[in-house]
Amino acid sequence: MTGGGTGTFDIDPDFNLFTELQVGSYVFSDVEYDAVALGRSDPHPFENALFVLAKVVSANHEGFVTIDAGSKSFLMDGPEPRIVAPGNGELVYAPFGDEFGKVSNPTGPVGLAPGDRVLCVVPHCDPTINMHDAYVCVRGDTVIETWPIQARGAAA
């Protein structure tokens, strides 16, 4: 009997029903999983491992910059992406169209210029993956491999 998932991995075994758990999203985690307590002993047992790296394409406004990651880069059916670098958690993402996102800093200047990179944790990992052609695998600052996303856009 198969079932369950990442969100219920810590309680599913107690039911003595499943012989296999369909836990898969834990390998990436995302903003949605970060917002809930997943484990009894450790509410956040999984680390984020799926990010979108965007670039600042415009800094013409005093209160925000525009990045090249909009709704075609993130599935927007839930929370906004979370910016993890730069800014130490101070920068905030907002949708700004299909191709673009808006980055602001509610407590001060944004401090980014065209060409600067912005690293975002994806809001919902499964459908965001389907929007991209490949994973770029990174260890530290080094690209290790690129893996194609085989089923992206596949016909039934």
Q: H/E/C letters for each residue in 59-91?
A: CCCCCEEEECCCCCCCCCCCCCCEEEECCCCCC
* Digitized pLDDT (tens) for each residue of the chain, 156 residues in all: 998 899 898 999 999 999 999 998 999 999 999 999 998 899 999 999 999 999 999 999 989 999 999 999 998 788 999 999 998 789 999 999 999 999 999 999 999 999 999 999 999 998 899 889 999 999 998 999 999 998 776 655
The pTM of the full predicted model, rounded to 2 decimals, is 0.88
- Of residues 116, 117, 65, the one with CA closest to residue 94: 65
> What homologous superfamily does CATH list for 51-148?
D-serine dehydratase-like domain (2.40.37.20)
CA distance 132 to 78: 18
Task: Give, as one character, the DSSP assignment of residue 25.
Answer: G
Distance CA(89)–CA(124), nearest Å, equals 19
Strand-pair partners of 153? none
Q: Which residues pair with 136 in a beta bridge?
A: 146
Question: In the chain, which segments carry CATH 2.40.37.20?
Answer: 51-148
Separation of alpha carbons 25 and 131, rounded Å: 16
